């Protein structure tokens, strides 16, 4: 389990254009790293659109926003195009980062247990350390809570 103050595990995944993105490339700036279950589902779409609506505030404060799910590159590309998402979406079909960050957990749907991504947001400081962990976030309020937390 990761804790505040830990060094954020390195991430090296593909974005919607099929380009490799490394978390270490963002050293020197804050990063909002949010894990979500699935592209084009109601909650995940609301969360992504909330980040898109607030993106100018993140950009003005030089804060990178990165979303990660187990969906593939093509799914992310279509999701970003459909909703005009201006931030990075990374594909993690092998669950590498998802497991490294401890967000692959047992969930219950209609009382039935299954494994899945628990919607979680990490704020990483400019030195690559975890500054905040927001577990089980609500899709509609996550972006606004981060803006308030960061004072941007």
> CA 126 to CA 30: how far, in whole Å?
5
Query: 99: number of CA atoms within 13 Å, CB side?
Result: 6
| CATH numbers and ranges of domains, the chain | 12-150 (3.40.30.10)
Q: Which of 31, 32, 33, 44 is catalytic?
A: 44
> CA 143 to CA 14: how far, in whole Å?
23
Active site residue 12: no
> CA 124 to CA 144: how far, in whole Å?
17
Report pLDDT digits (tens) over 45-99.
999 999 999 999 999 999 999 999 999 999 999 999 999 999 999 999 999 999 9
């Amino acid at each position: 389990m990761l804790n505040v103050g830990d060094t954020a595990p390195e991430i090296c995944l593909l974005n919607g254009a099929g380009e490799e993105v490394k978390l270490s490339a963002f050293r020197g700036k804050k990063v909002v790293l949010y894990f979500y279950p699935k592209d084009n589902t109601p909650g995940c779409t609301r969360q992504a659109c909330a980040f898109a609506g607030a993106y100018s505030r993140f950009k003005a404060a030089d804060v990178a926003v990165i979303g990660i799910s187990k969906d593939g590159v093509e799914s992310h590309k279509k999701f970003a195009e459909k909703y005009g998402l201006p931030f990075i979406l990374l594909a993690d079909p092998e669950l590498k980062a998802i497991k490294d960050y401890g967000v692959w957990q047992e969930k219950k749907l209609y009382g039935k247990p299954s494994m899945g991504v628990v919607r979680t947001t990490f704020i990483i400081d400019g030195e690559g350390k975890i500054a905040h962990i927001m577990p089980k976030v609500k899709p509609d309020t996550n972006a606004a809570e981060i803006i308030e937390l960061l004072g941007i």
